[in-house]
Structure 1
């Protein structure tokens, strides 16, 4: 029980990596605040997740709202304080990746991607860190970046800069928040099968191509991120901060 009795906020918790992380933390003894977009679909997914968390003997509450709105971050923290007495861990997983060519990129799509992926991460991290500082017992912040922080993508010119920014945010926050024993780290997934890339991987040819580049010989699953995230959240990583952990089946080193 690596996270016994701790309070964990997970943004983007209704599906994909966020959902896997929330359930893994609950299985390790944590109570969970699940952040989600607030749509009917995400609310239904969260209801199922909350049932699973209840089955492992932990508590959960849900907060719907746009990650790009600073008020959502404040509500997540306030809910954690009211329900569980504070915030010990923040896992920022909220993100979008609407593939689009560069030269005709709609300005609104670019702004939305930056607002959700980068600005939303900043708001959540700042709100959680202020609460952790007030509590005086340290904390752990883990941001889901991407291998795209390190490599380019012709259909991701709006997305890759946000993930590089998230990675950089964790490095800078590791310095800024170290005096309060708040650790900040990033996980960098490779090609993970989630709703974000389901359409892109629908082509058998594209799927085979992507799989062929991965030394471990398979695409990733959300659960592949859960263990590394729990590790970074736990006391086992008490001297780890400012780190960028690749969780990509070896994809990045195979691209060099």
Structure 2
């Protein structure tokens, strides 16, 4: 998919993104940097992710070499289930660039499982990463934004699964509904500080979390048939909405909402 043109929509801003080396998080990082934003990226730092980390850094370098006034990147390993991970991420971003304007809580996990076979460990891990990790990271970002006194934008990556059930997602859909609810409550709590909090709600996107569907031709065809646009989304399809929610000039009165970006799938119920 074509990248979002470099319109300098986030020129001089600083963002932090969790889970930013793969999938939707990576697409958002690259879009922000293309728009002139400096981005601090969190990732787990596991050996099997080294190739993705290096390729992200190379891609950012290539963008910067085009001379479009792109932003810079720093990356920091850590598990978002540990509150200290997000505290360090925000601290490093501010140390490097002096401020935090945008925060994206993107880190998440999903492993399909039959309801009657779900073990406590899988449920706990889903809640720990998707709900607690989002909470801790957003709280760290909000502390910094409140201290700065200039407002900001916080975006939680939820899902159409916040609105729809799934037979193999009973441990997952509640976590995505929690993120939508969390953004609504945060928006109320932080409105006095001019901090906008919104949820981005992707539909089915071709990322590693959806491999189980993408690798099944029958399941993929069924999904595509349900989507009015006729295709499963790409991570880059989330870049524009994420830039919109981050850009004060474009979305300054958008607050406490869930932006559904699913190709029309949710409405196609008949």
TM-score by structure 2 length? Answer: 0.93
- The equivalent of 1:4 in structure 2 is 11
- The equivalent of 2:164 in structure 1 is 151
- The equivalent of 2:68 in structure 1 is none
Q: Is the 8 A contact 1:54 1:60 kept in 2?
A: no
Spell out the pairing of 1:97-246 with structure 2 (5 A cutoff): 97-235=110-248, 236-246=250-260
Match of 1:68 among 81, 89, 103: 81
Residues 216-248 of structure 1 show CA distances to partners (whole Å, capped at 9, x for unaligned) of 000000000000000000021011111111100
- The equivalent of 2:51 in structure 1 is 44
Instruction: Name which of structure 1's ranges 192-201 and 243-252 shifts more when overlaid on structure 2.
Output: 192-201
Distance 2:50 2:181 in 1: 31
- The equivalent of 2:266 in structure 1 is 252
- The equivalent of 2:4 in structure 1 is none
Distance 2:188 2:236 in 1: 29
Q: Is the 8 A contact 1:9 1:33 kept in 2?
A: yes
Q: Is the 8 A contact 1:113 1:159 kept in 2?
A: yes
What is the root-mean-square deviation of aligned Cα atoms in Å?
A: 1.0
- The equivalent of 1:19 in structure 2 is 26
Distance 2:123 2:257 in 1: 28
SS of residue in 2 equivalent to 1:184: strand
Distance 1:216 1:123 in 2: 36
SS of residue in 2 equivalent to 1:197: helix
Q: Is the 8 A contact 1:145 1:187 kept in 2?
A: yes
User: Deviation at 1:20?
Assistant: 0.1
SS of residue in 2 equivalent to 1:245: strand
SS of residue in 2 equivalent to 1:79: helix
TM-score by structure 1 length? Answer: 0.98
Corresponding pairs, count: 256
Instruction: Name which of structure 1's ranges 204-213 and 194-203 shifts more when overlaid on structure 2.
Output: 194-203
SS of residue in 2 equivalent to 1:141: strand
Distance 1:84 1:18 in 2: 20
Distance 1:26 1:59 in 2: 7
User: Deviation at 1:43?
Assistant: 3.2
